[in-house]
Chains A and B, each alone.
Chain A
């Protein structure tokens, strides 16, 4: 698996020093990037170069670098997490790019995700939606034995499919309405497939949707772009389930 070397690439990247700065694109040249490197490692190389030149390196969010924490968040050549399917930016590798290519890198763009610096955006709105009801209300201790809550394997699997959401925000960034429906649907759907927390199912669906609207996310018009951009393959069928849960809750008012 000898990796090819990209002799020269151009990185056209959004620079914005702080939330009130207007921001602009800058283009940098990077030489000798192994195709076996990840996209973030390529940014590391570029940053090393910028630091040595006395310039401010590009700020970006990342942590686990193995596709699970949901922290990395870049819009690359017009795609959230770049031009490959079912992966996050940290799992994107340079073999997806060609020698001499100009790669355009932007932050997630959505009103509810203000830019903090360069490619870093503020996604605390997601936490606030979860705080509005994305939980089962049990205290520590005093719970029944795990096996007293039997769950059919198919239901557990479906709940797990939904629970796999990493909260990255690619769905929002990709959606032309900046809707957070896929993210909210994933959580509501996880609990809808499980007996736990049924008691508060109605409150949960209503509270989470209300919070999402309040925080400035747009409405869902079923374009399906979110599903295509989602690194964890969260299906829009969960949105249908969220809608059902929400309507159930509304009608019982």
Chain B
């Protein structure tokens, strides 16, 4: 049985959070000044947390690897953010948002956390409006909403197709205000490379100044990781190039549990891979599926001729087009959830109906919407996305259907945290995409932004106080202790080891290989044989990497190849844990599709008997098998049902 304590408060679901807040301790203003907090990461989660903690009076040190906190990956989110405001009077409520989220998560998230997320969501919108975030408005001046991702109410707030950007700029401005006020010290272009534990508690970090290679020590009474997701394990993903799992992985190696690593979300509407020179994939917003129809050719000959470029999609008559989502899921049609749409596209391509040169694309066609609504309406709704598509592909999507294919998008697994967002290491917290989140297996759209800001603005600032109230007698953390010494040595020797391999292949060569293994065996669908193969191949790749990578340049200068090498070394290990976790979870569960666990008509089949848990992996040492603990998930307020979109 599990030896992990999620610290979920007792009492009725709707009262847990308010009762908990009443019960936990607060730190007096005079004592806050004596307490230091490190926040690693300044995306939505980290920037909102650092700003809020600074306002409260703590001394905050914030870190990011980019040149400015404004460039965190959160900036790229397009579609929107959910909140249970019920501004549209369509019967939305905290309970309904909670219910949709827990169901969308295939019942693999904690009830209490998910409810709290829904409960604080309205405050997020108010906060952002007050900061001057230019959300879309109705003519009367009130906030506008749109519907998103197969939900039946309109609860998504947005700022054009740039919602993440505007929310982040809001949090960045709050952070700037604190930097100006002196309560937050910002360390941009600094990469955290280790967590330092003193007496079992998190007491600081070791970071590398990326401009000159200097290794630095920072002490604090608590450390918060807001370092985002690990989707770049796959090499090609919609994530920014620098997104990494290294901070989470170092925490894991220091004793923090890693939860549900096999849960990664795949987004169905990305611009397909072309050729072999590509470095990343571009997402096309999910909102496109509100008006676009997805199809592949009915006849294999047509698909083949398309691949060879002999015919164009507009040559294919309507009756020869297979609108496979509408065919298979008559009630949801093109609006089925992301995992369903993604697998259906792969199924068509695997069966030989793919339409680009690689055979890995299907069409998203606006012809019908343009006929129905006119080009102008479509231009108004999706103009910027169409322009982006044309810039990348050189194809005009008003005249030709877009080509799309699924891609890795978001990490639902991450560092295990309790109800207070504390990891299994006292004083170490994880927020935003870096934690294993409140969502479980199949996150719905527009809820990652919500989670990042909920954690940073409204949850962590309270819960961390409870811990710090017990630390007020601890003097400012000295960094000249043996623990910091050891951590710095650990970091330096690893960098030197990598640098001195002086092998024959650049880092990207290995990253592409890893991505290939992951996509093939730990991608959209997984089976036992493939996962075992993945574990073997990853082990081989690891050996090859550590003996044959070549890192040019100097250690003590800007050295992107050295940065990438460190991250890749961790991605290789994360990939291994993902495969193990996937192997262990013998059920299909939203984002994780096990071929052994399907219904008669080939849909995902959850197995609540074996599967109603969150995994929590514990590090046992380099090259030792990790141990999995189970956090049993208890559902007192919702009834578990199989998802169906037929």
Contact = CB atoms under 8 A, between A and B. Distances in A.
Interface stretch (A172-180, A191-199, A215-223, A238-246): A191-199
B550 A123 contact: no
B134 A135 contact: no
B274 A160 contact: no
A9 interface: no
Interface string A139-152: 11101111101111
B400 to A, nearest CB: 9
A141 B458 contact: yes
B176 A131 contact: yes
A132 to B, nearest CB: 7
Given A51-B561, A65-B241, A141-B458, A71 B67 contact: yes
Interface stretch (B275-283, B480-488, B605-613): B275-283
B73 A64 contact: yes
Given A136-B132, A167-B68, A93 B73 contact: no
Given A61-B67, A93-B392, A139 B55 contact: yes
A138 to B, nearest CB: 5
Contacts of B52: 140
Interface in B388-408: 388, 391-395
A144 B87 CA distance: 15
Contacts of B552: 50-51, 54-57
A138 B131 contact: yes
A55 B241 CA distance: 22
Given A63-B242, A160-B160, A144 B126 contact: yes
B18 to A, nearest CB: 14
Nearest to A48: B506
B450 interface: no
Interface in A121-177: 122-124, 126-127, 130-141, 143-147, 149-153, 156-157, 159-160, 163-164, 166-167
B288 interface: no
Interface in A23-63: 33-34, 36-38, 40-41, 44-45, 47-48, 50-52, 54-57, 59, 61-63
Contact of B165 (A2, A18, A68, A157): A68
Interface string B221-238: 000000000000000000
B215 interface: no
A59 B560 contact: yes
B557 A143 contact: no
Contact of A137 (B125, B139, B177): B177
B499 to A, nearest CB: 13
Interface in B151-192: 159-160, 162, 165-166, 169, 172-174, 176-177, 179-180, 186, 188
A155 B296 CA distance: 43
Contact of A143 (B69, B129, B388): B129
B548 interface: no
A117 B561 CA distance: 14
A69 interface: yes
A54 B159 CA distance: 47
B68 to A, nearest CB: 5
Contact of A44 (B76, B87, B179, B508): B508
B154 to A, nearest CB: 15
A117 B509 CA distance: 24
A191 to B, nearest CB: 6
Contact of B241 (A56, A63, A141, A159): A63
Contact of A160 (B87, B126, B159): B159
A197 B506 CA distance: 50
Contacts of B283: 66
B357 interface: yes
B373 interface: no
A123 B68 contact: yes
Given A66-B282, A153-B137, A141 B560 contact: no
B141 A150 contact: yes
Contacts, number: 226
B70 A34 contact: no
A214 B275 CA distance: 48
Nearest to B83: A146
Contacts of B278: 37, 41
A159 B170 CA distance: 13
A67 B394 contact: no
B141 A194 contact: no
Given A37-B277, A120-B558, A147-B142, A138 B67 contact: no
Contacts of B174: 135, 138, 140
Contact of A69 (B66, B131, B141, B275): B66
A62 B132 contact: no
Nearest to A62: B241
A70 interface: yes
B85 interface: yes
A125 B48 CA distance: 22
A71 B66 contact: yes
B398 to A, nearest CB: 15
A181 to B, nearest CB: 19
Contacts of B48: 140
B309 interface: yes
A156 B55 CA distance: 28
A47 B241 CA distance: 15
B335 to A, nearest CB: 24
Contacts of A167: 68, 70-71
B138 interface: yes
Given A36-B274, A64-B76, A160 B561 contact: no
Interface in B546-560: 550, 552-553, 557-558, 560
Pairs A-B, 6 closest by C-beta atoms: A150-B141, A135-B173, A143-B130, A146-B129, A159-B134, A140-B52
11 contacts: A48-B509, A51-B506, A51-B550, A64-B241, A67-B388, A69-B76, A127-B176, A131-B179, A147-B87, A163-B169, A194-B132
Interface of B: 48, 51-52, 55, 66-71, 73, 75-76, 85, 87, 123, 125-132, 134-143, 159-160, 162, 165-166, 169, 172-174, 176-177, 179-180, 186, 188, 211, 240-242, 274-275, 277-280, 282-283, 309, 357, 388, 391-395, 457-458, 461, 504, 506, 508-509, 550, 552-553, 557-558, 560-561
Given A2-B357, A36-B275, A156-B134, 8 more contacts: A1-B393, A3-B274, A17-B557, A56-B552, A69-B240, A87-B391, A153-B138, A153-B139
